[in-house]
Amino acid sequence: MSLKIALLPGDGIGPEVLAQAVKCLEAVEETFNQHFIFKEAPVGAIAIDKKGKPLPDATLKLCKESDAVLFGAIGDPKYDNDPEAKVRPEQGLLQLRKELGLFANIRPILSHPTLLDKSPLKKKVVNGTDFVIYRELTGGIYFGEKKLNEEGTKASDLCEYTEEEISRIAHLAFKAAKGRKKKLTLIDKANVLESSRLWRKVVAKIGESYPEITLDFMFVDNAAMQIILNPKQFDVILTENMFGDIISDEGSVIGGSIGLLASASVGEENALFEPIHGSYPQAKGKDIANPIASILSAAMLLEHFGLMEEAWAVKKAVDKSLKKGIVTPDLKANSQYGTNQVGDFIAHNIVDIEDDFLMNGENIDLGKSTII
């Protein structure tokens, strides 16, 4: 298979972690005889500096012409610390999601057996956690009308949803639940927000056509507590844009580091893969950022195109780095391994699935994920 992949490194640690994902895809090319055509383009703060806007036209064009986008991260303190800034790196990512129609952001949250002591939560609480968040990505408060009065003393952001926007992601989430533990939890704030009441109504109606799925509802404030008290109760979580953003960072505490969590953003025609973390500017250029979230995002890209053996090989190599302790300092204080070394180790361990089977006699189950 030949795939055109747009690489958008972005800002901060984005370029460093994305480079490790590319190394792994190059190892997949060599090992499995696949062909990837990589083309790179600026986005975020670097694009504002170079081209005057966070999503230059040529970057958007490249993404539209590619089979998939592999994204690093965007964001820079010079904008975060300037409330008056007229243009912001984050607008580039939001515009890209909208333009590509990426309405569903899929964020798997898993505990890893060798990392149970990395979570501040009790081992018995996190052990066996395996849920996935379906976060609506192109609607809600991040995209609603923004207002600031002339005096600069009153501001508002509108949260709007249509039945259609809710329904298309709800169907994806119900279908995902069918292949999992058959439970779907809608997280909302329907006791207060009109938009959440529409979510409940639409999702309950759609649930009638998925009778095998147990549907329940949870208010987001309670959910924020339940995710760290009893994460194993969840299977598929469906939620709106901002709630999904917040609870997924919270969920990363279960796995031991946000530097492990990958995501896929999908729509009717396009797909983008990115870590859930941001540009972690404090770590830029220090070779300490965990590249695994980016590498596992590349594995999700492979899965998206049905390259299951290839994705499995990447995840297996990630597993090996975790088991052997070849990890960045977020997972092992004073670790001697940096972003690049971890990336090299994982890339070198992407081996042909048949060889691995013969060497280790392992019972390989391609349908079962290790980290993602």
Which residues are catalytic, by number?
142, 189, 221, 245, 249
Length of the chain: 372
- The packing angle between helices 14-32 and 292-304, to 10°, is 50
- Decide if residue 337 touches ligand NAI (CB under 6 A): no
Q: With CB under 6 A, what is the number of residues at the site for ligand NAI?
A: 21
Query: What is the rounded distance in angstroms from the CA atom of residue 77 to the CA atom of residue 218?
Result: 35
Q: For residues 56 and 47, is the Cβ–Cβ distance under 8 A?
A: yes
Least separation in angstroms between CB 139 and ligand NAI:
17
Query: For residues 260 and 289, is the Cβ–Cβ distance under 8 A?
Result: no
245 annotated ligand-binding residue: yes
70 dihedral zone (left: phi>0; alpha: psi -120 to 50; beta): beta
Residue 296 contacts which entry, ligand NAI, Mg ion, ligand COI, none (Cβ below 5-8 A, type-dependent): none
Least separation in angstroms between residue 181's CB and ligand NAI is 28
Total Cβ atoms within 10 A of residue 246 = 15
What part of residues 59-98 is at the interface with ligand COI (CB under 6 A)?
90, 93-94
Q: Is there a contact between 81 and 96 (Cβ–Cβ < 8 Å)?
A: no
Cα–Cα distances in Å, from 338 out to 118, 312, 317, 324?
Answer: 18, 24, 16, 14
**Per rule CB under 6 A, is residue 258 in the interface with ligand NAI?**
yes
180 annotated to bind ligand = no
Cα-based angle 8, 142, 97 (whole degrees, multiple of 5): 30
Q: How far is the CB of 91 from ligand NAI (least distance, A)?
A: 11
Distance CA 272, CA 6 (A): 9
* Window contacting ligand NAI (CB under 6 A); options: 153-161, 223-231, 257-265, 310-318: 257-265
d(CA 262, CA 295): 8
Q: Counting contacts by CB under 6 A, is residue 330 touching ligand NAI?
A: yes
Closest residue to Mg ion, based on beta-carbon distance: 245
At residue 239, what are phi and psi to the nearest 5 degrees? -160, 170
Consult the annotation and say whether 97 binds a ligand: yes
Helix (H), strand (E) at residue 47: helix 45-51
Residue 200 marked in a binding site = no
Among 16, 165, 240, 245, binds ligand COI (CB under 6 A): 245
**Residue placing its CB nearer to ligand NAI in the complex, 165 or 330:** 330
Q: Which CB, 18 or 347, lies closer to Mg ion?
A: 18
Residue 258 contacts which entry, ligand NAI, Mg ion, ligand COI, none (Cβ below 5-8 A, type-dependent) = ligand NAI
Pairing between β-strand 183-188 and β-strand 214-219 as defined by DSSP bridges? parallel
Nearer to ligand COI, 97 or 316 (CB): 97
Residues of the binding site for Mg(2+): 221, 245, 249
Chain contacts with ligand COI (rule: CB under 6 A): 90, 93-94, 245, 276
Chain contacts with ligand NAI (rule: CB under 6 A): 13, 17, 73-75, 80, 90, 93, 257-259, 274, 277-281, 289-290, 293, 330
